[in-house]
Amino acid sequence: MNMQQARFNMIEQQIRPWNVLDLDVLEILEQIPRENFVAAGQEVLAYVDTELPLPCGQFMLSPRVQARLFHDAKIQAHETVLEIGTGSGYLTALLASKAKEVVSLELHQDIADLAKANLSQAGVSNVEVVHADAVQYKSPKGPFDVIVLTGSVASVPAFIFDQLKVLGRVIAIVGHDPMMRTTIYKSISENQFETTQPWDTVAPRLLGFPEPSEFQF
């Protein structure tokens, strides 16, 4: 299989139609081989528009969702990024390509080790992968300019915003199946945010994040 052609087809058929038009972002997607970040034996599926399995029952988001998250995060070269949910390290590598530094938290040790190996093999040196529960762990490198949640949540809890710089932004997939909306929170002052919801999608839950109580009558 011609991976370079598959990567080109992914960009032209999946990514561009999803309003990912920034030329720098498209160039980075062309340069980072996604097949090097999928689970062993899944290389031929690296550019298919679907989620792919990872160890511990987790999933790698589809190419277009990862690309759109990367695009809409609008990372600048001076910024530090907190990623919640490292996965295989592919989105981490995308974020790191534009950021000053990325701290990425991964709940599962096996997946954290996989991501570290993938990122090392790709020559990505400005990432710290931490095996930690994001609900309980607060990075000493914060506060951050950008926080990216790589799975869905019912709502973004306060401890996420507590790690954000004033004028920073959080990007998360918020809601419940079958209706979830990618939500960008831009800090405009202390405890005040401007919120936009540019696109809908559905993504697996980030484990450990609070769910609303279900009342029974």
pLDDT tens-place string over residues 81-127? 999 999 999 999 999 999 999 999 999 999 999 999 999 999 999 99
| Residue-level pLDDT at 171 | 98
Task: State the pLDDT at residue 40.
Answer: 87
Is the model's pLDDT at 210 over the cut of 70?
Answer: yes
Q: For 38, which DSSP code? A: S
Computed over every residue of the chain, the mean pLDDT equals: 95
C-alpha to C-alpha distances, 70 to 40, 118, 147, 208, 212, nearest whole angstrom: 24, 18, 11, 23, 28
For 59-80, what is each residue's pLDDT tens digit?
999 999 999 999 999 999 999 9
pLDDT band of 213, cuts 50, 70, 90: low
- Tell me the DSSP string of 46-96: TTSSS-EE-GGG-EEPPHHHHHHHHHHH---TT-EEEEE--TTSHHHHHHH
CATH architecture of 3-201: 3-Layer(aba) Sandwich (3.40)
The residue ranges of every structural domain in the chain are 3-201
